[in-house]
Chains A and B, each alone.
Chain A
Amino acid sequence: MVKEILKGLALTFQQMWKKPITLQYPEERKLMPARARGRHQLQRYEVGMERCIGCGLCSAVCPSNCITVVPAENAEEDRHSPGERYSQIYRINEFRCIFCGYCQEACPVDAIILTEEYEFSAYSRDEFVYDKERLLVSLSRQPQGADRSPEPIS
């Protein structure tokens, strides 16, 4: 009996001197592994043009059917993406998403990526449906030099 108690306490004492794994969120944040899959983001080219061409492959591959893409045709005066097609509406329901990352894998132009961001909270459920405006990386935050400029597509 005493033996068992001592054994248990030994473990307790052992752990007491280790660094706790609890993070003091939100002051402290966890560093996510490089391939973590969090909230989606739509990428741009260096020149600011959207990468997404609205092909809809992400929505076709999505196992939980949470991506809506409505394509449209680019006009010369109002070009959103290289090529003829762009996504007029791009919407992801993050509630339904299972963060499998298939969309990222299916995308032929590396337009959609899953970022490390995992902090989902909002005051209404609607806010979990992300539209293109919120998904697109903002022009100022986009990584410098990391992206190629669009190739001319004939």
Chain B
Amino acid sequence: MPKIKINQREIEVEPGTTILSAALQSGIEIPHFCYHPRLSIAGNCRMCLVELKGAPKLVIACNTAVTEGMEVFTDTPKVVKAREGVLEFLLINHPLDCPICDKGGECPLQNYTLKYGPTQTRYEEGRRIYSPKSLGPKVVLNQNRCIFCGRCVRFLREVAGHEEMGMFHRGDHVEVGTYFEKPLESVFAGNITDICPVGALTTRDFRFKVRVWELNPQPSTCSLCSCGCNLVLWTKGDRVYRITPRANEEVNEAWICDRGRFDFHFIENSERLKTPLIRKEGELRPASWEEAYSFVAEKLSALSKSGGGRSIGGILAPSYSNEEAYLFQKLLRETLGSNHLDSRFGPSSMANARAHEKDLQMTSLSALEGTELIVLLGEDLTREHPVYSLRVRRAVRQRGARLIVAHSRPTDLDSIASYVLQYKEGDEERFLSSWLRALLEVMPFESIPEGLEEERWSALRAWPASGAADVPEEDLRGAAELIVRAPKVVWVIGEPKGRGASFPLSEDRGQGSSTGASADSRSLTANPSFLERAMDLVLLTRRGQEGGARVLLLSEGGNSQGLLDMGISPKLLPGLRQLTPDEVGRVEEAWGVSLPSWEGMDGRQMLEAARKGEIKALYLVGMDPVGDLALGAEAEEAIKGLELLIVQGLFLVRTARLAHVVLPGLSFAEKDGTLTNATGRVQRQRRVISPPAGAKDDLEILAEITARIAPSRPTPSSPAEVFQEIAQRVSLYKGLSFEEVRETGACR
């Protein structure tokens, strides 16, 4: 490895490293604008000039690779003068109105000018003034401030893969903007405002709201999808002003999608519930927490005594934390004796448990980097798990992986796919079976894995014969051949988005959503066997024992994996253990509790049972089935017959209006907890602002209700206590502690 000296300090770096990144690695500052560690090198700003021993002229540090024995100086009089000159040139056209500009306080140009720049300008002519150009509703461009470093253009082209911006004209007439002045559509557009080194790009959402130095940046984790992006929440007082990404190489690198960035204003919505409501004489009336607790506890224990656990069901939205999920299932299973537990109204699947059992589950995104083939099945990654699509794109564009996309609609990644298998909506089963047949045809006999049990085979045989598949036969075959030939395959499988797969947290979600991702992502019709069948396909293509295949199962909701881990499923116990009488016996013994051993109902079945009067009480947390377009009428009908409907959440949603009790809970910025992302990384969500008076922490509500129904048993109530119990009881979380799940999370 080459040894170099920067300012007489000796450092050793990988061959091929540039001087700038060597300096950054060892904490030496070289000012720079166009260079960004995650983008390609442009070398156009000339800010990073350094002196090399023996070189006649200064060189740019960002595009000069180190060589053995190189001696670099970053602060000789020559360098100092050159920097001053570069800054003076940049400031010829850059307006000197930092007090007005919204980047002020966090602007590299401002900081470098203060540190290295001239104190005076000698320029007396007029500044270059551009007429305003619109970039659409999300990002505002002020070209007068632009220094034409090209970071925004390179980000959109190289990282996001949405080539929407470009540089036009030359020299002094250079302009930056979108092609044909179209609005920016990329779901990653917000990121360009983070990397722009001047105030040329700002988000409409945040600009001129507050000065950045008044804000308090606090770490947290996004709960909108199961990517689990790391965030910084910028707060002042009890308000979140903006959200930016926090770097985590294992998750989101340094990017987030615009949903995560802009979709948080529901926190400060004035319609948030601030007091419990109880139905009296047919009307929801404000009540005290004491009244609400005793009402719920009394009703629930009366029902569980008279009707048994089978008359009670609970559904928790997949944005809630592991601790909340754990306590929720504890309340339902241990205290009320019910297995009717779910996190959605779609069909539930056991695929996660199976993937886990077979050690197929992908536990780190780095598996994507070294793979030869990625198969996206029923998953529109850029829409549903945007940040993961960046990894896939890089694997394909930069590391030479091939991509197969199978979806019922065109998706964003189609353009870089080797095969696009677009099947008809509702026709998944036929598509899968014809693909399976194609696979079997091209597959050499020996490579069919032994581990595939006989029953699976018969299940496979029972698949419907492929009729007229809408996907061309040669594409099916070609894709199958790719799979069979690739030594390593990663399957990214999306959950079928059935009717009412999950619901927005608040009423204003979806409509105000900047990307509209939640609005029409439910295209696949409910198909209970889709995921299971897809898993069969994966198992079939698994080569040998060394794990040539990996699966990433993605479902909707920020903590969907965590909820399954915690046993929010009619068929799973905490720790992804199948709910069988034997297993229940073992768990009962280990935990010293008694649990129901019958198989529970999933969300849809619960509604159906409620309609028939078999289920008498439903406890919904963060769910609004009546407000759902597809499910609404059916849910309303079912809910009418209930003896007790408890709705916990932030808003008086349509379902809540029909409830017997409404309990106001908290938003993600107001409570502590942990979330588990799709790869099994456990990360902290933090309380960064105080909640509206009157609403209570969801965990506290659940703990209090549990304690009132079963006062003899101790119920942990703080997130740390609950997490401790989880770590003791759930083998997947063994050895983790709440304190240890620090800034960048821990693998379970």
Contacts and interface: CB of A to CB of B under 8 A. Distances in A.
Interface string A112-135: 000000000000000000000000
B144 interface: yes
B97 to A, nearest CB: 5
A73 B99 contact: no
Given A55-B100, A55-B104, A85-B100, A60 B95 contact: no
A109 B97 CA distance: 10
B99 A72 contact: no
A71 B99 contact: no
B100 A153 contact: yes
B127 interface: yes
A56 B142 CA distance: 21
A73 B208 contact: yes
Given A55-B104, A154-B144, A108 B99 contact: yes
Given A154-B127, A154-B129, A60 B211 contact: yes
A54 B104 CA distance: 12
A131 B213 CA distance: 23
B142 to A, nearest CB: 8
Contacts of A109: 99
A73 B213 contact: no
Interface in B94-126: 95, 97, 99-102, 104
A71 B97 contact: no
Q: How large is the interface on B (under 10, 10 to 19, 20 to 34, 35 or more residues)?
A: 10 to 19
B214 interface: yes
A70 B241 CA distance: 13
A153 B95 contact: yes
A57 B99 contact: yes
A85 B102 contact: yes
B729 interface: no
A84 B100 contact: yes
Nearest to B145: A154
Contacts of A153: 95, 97, 100
B95 A71 contact: no
B210 interface: yes
A84 B208 contact: yes
B509 to A, nearest CB: 26
A55 B103 CA distance: 11
Contacts of B99: 53, 55, 57, 85, 108-109
Nearest to B144: A154
Given A53-B100, A55-B100, A154-B127, A85 B95 contact: no
A72 B95 contact: no
Nearest to B127: A154
> A interface, by DSSP: helix, strand, loop or mixed?
loop
A85 B199 CA distance: 13
Contact of A56 (B101, B129, B144, B211): B211
> B interface, by DSSP: helix, strand, loop or mixed?
loop
A101 interface: no
Contacts of B104: 55
Interface string A37-74: 00000000000000001111101100000000011110
Contacts of B3: none
Contacts of B208: 54, 71-73, 84-85
A54 B144 CA distance: 20
Interface string B127-147: 101000000000000101000
A72 B207 CA distance: 8
A154 B127 CA distance: 8
B209 interface: yes
Interface in A134-154: 153-154
Contact of B207 (A54, A59, A73): A73
Interface string B191-212: 0000000000000000111110
Nearest to A107: B99
Nearest to A71: B208
Nearest to A85: B100
B148 to A, nearest CB: 16
Contacts of B210: 70-71
A154 B129 CA distance: 7
A154 B95 contact: yes
Interface string A70-100: 1111000000000111000000000000000
Nearest to B95: A154
A83 B207 CA distance: 14
Contacts of B209: 71-72
A71 B102 CA distance: 10
B80 to A, nearest CB: 27
A93 B207 CA distance: 26
Identify which of B99, B207, B210 gathers the most chain A CB atoms within 10 Å of its CB: B99
Interface of B: 95, 97, 99-102, 104, 127, 129, 142, 144, 207-211, 213-214
The 4 closest A-B pairs by CB, nearest first: A55-B99, A83-B100, A73-B208, A56-B211
20 contacts: A53-B99, A53-B100, A54-B208, A55-B99, A55-B100, A56-B211, A56-B214, A59-B214, A60-B213, A60-B214, A71-B210, A73-B208, A83-B97, A83-B100, A84-B102, A85-B100, A109-B99, A153-B97, A153-B100, A154-B95
Interface of A: 53-57, 59-60, 70-73, 83-85, 108-109, 153-154
Given A55-B100, A60-B214, A153-B100, 6 more contacts: A53-B100, A55-B211, A70-B210, A71-B211, A84-B142, A154-B144
